[in-house]
Chain A
């Protein structure tokens, strides 16, 4: 067992973990943050995407001890006091959510993009979500949603 310290959604956690525990399992099974999904378990679908130290990662490929002293954001963090984040609002307005399984990862990839680039082009958006597979929407609605989210956030909608 290894003692680690992580900050998850602005909350500090001191934990003891098995060396082969994956971050996705720590989040879902130990902290009950089940917004992060496991799709393929092989880093090929992006459903397990979280933001670690400002960059998106596949939590199914990160061993929990590798996240020691990291700052992690999961989908649970981005809404606040029951109010949706502009990206979440945009996804709903544009019909970018069907089954919803890719959505947490998709939104976090969009957030990581918009945190660095407030005015992305369509090409930049498509590239930023190219690590997140969606079997339902055909991606166009998702791209429209991220464009709308960028507009909303420019108008001061950022949480």
Chain B
């Protein structure tokens, strides 16, 4: 397919085009996933609309406890933001692991989400942050959860585009961890990824959110493991229980797939590391975190 092409000068112009021809338009931001798909003939929309240059979609804003990241923001800009690194470390770590430096210099966080890959690295941390997607159109705005975005493809209208992602940053006593397992140490697609957000008080887990990537059709929360861990005191034994629960969940979910026997074991290591990272973050530093 040889699409026509559009390069709007402003966000308003882009929204106007979407309003007129939304169902025929394929949005192009950084292009690091899309260009490959276009060359393989995987995309069949008539029109290619480039939005990667629109500065109105590129921002990182902290407002009291909330963080807003423009959908067109490149991963390098997220990684180079010192506040993101300091205050939302698990999310920062995930963004730093996307592709390679060259890819991060072009790739946008909006593209990473909208590409709907189960291995998208930025999504598990956003899931545990309960991130919301801010959609815009010529007619107005709306907010949807990441979960709804994945589960219901019709949640996005044809004349809408992703404007920004927003989430509450972790508070004192809360920590975030992220781990990724790939075939290489860098420049690798996740075979398994895991994000953990934990709230701890005096060794007791007050709240925990866990999300994994590349272990299902799309990145998912892990409610069974969360329930097991909530309101319990951290210990080696508890962690082992959680590892078993995670492994069983993955085994059930991937039943019949050739990757299951590997992934149901490997997920334990990935989850353990992410969990420990979150605990360290919650305690503020390694010295105070329990030894388990």
Contacts and interface: CB of A to CB of B under 8 A. Distances in A.
B183 to A, nearest CB: 11
Given A57-B102, A130-B101, A19 B76 contact: no
Contacts of B100: 43, 46, 58, 130-132
Given A55-B105, A57-B106, A131-B102, A19 B36 contact: no
Interface stretch (B2-10, B125-133, B197-205): B2-10
Contacts of B186: 127, 130-131
Contact of B106 (A22, A58, A68, A127): A58
Contact of A58 (B4, B5, B50, B102): B102
A44 B101 contact: no
A2 B50 CA distance: 13
Interface string B6-44: 010000000000000000000010011001101100000
A62 B106 contact: yes
A132 B28 CA distance: 25
A42 B38 CA distance: 11
A130 B184 CA distance: 10
Contact of B38 (A20, A58, A60, A128): A20
Nearest to B3: A19
A63 B187 contact: no
Nearest to B189: A44
Contacts of B48: 19
Contacts of A132: 100
A56 B35 CA distance: 17
B103 A131 contact: yes
Contact of B99 (A43, A63, A68): A43
B206 to A, nearest CB: 36
Contacts of B185: 130
A29 B52 CA distance: 25
Contacts of A44: 187
A42 B40 CA distance: 11
B32 A56 contact: no
B52 A66 contact: yes
B2 A61 contact: no
A49 interface: yes
Interface in A5-61: 19-20, 22, 41-44, 46, 49, 52, 55-58, 60-61
A46 to B, nearest CB: 6
Contact of A61 (B4, B36, B50): B36
Given A43-B99, A46-B187, A131-B187, A61 B105 contact: no
A43 B101 contact: no
A43 B102 contact: yes
Nearest to A4: B7
A130 B5 CA distance: 33
Contacts of B103: 43, 58, 61, 131
A2 B5 contact: yes
B17 to A, nearest CB: 15
Contacts of B53: 66
Contacts of B101: 56, 109, 127-128, 130-131
Interface string B172-213: 000000000000011100000000000000000000000000
B250 to A, nearest CB: 26
Nearest to A59: B102
Interface in A115-145: 127-128, 130-133
A91 interface: no
A58 B186 CA distance: 15
Nearest to A112: B101
A101 interface: no
Contacts of B102: 43, 46, 49, 56-58, 109, 131
A67 to B, nearest CB: 10
Contact of B31 (A46, A56, A66, A133): A66
B5 A61 contact: no
13 contacts: A19-B3, A19-B4, A19-B5, A46-B100, A55-B105, A56-B101, A56-B105, A63-B31, A66-B31, A66-B52, A131-B187, A132-B100, A133-B187
Given A57-B105, A66-B50, 5 more contacts: A20-B3, A42-B36, A57-B106, A61-B103, A130-B185
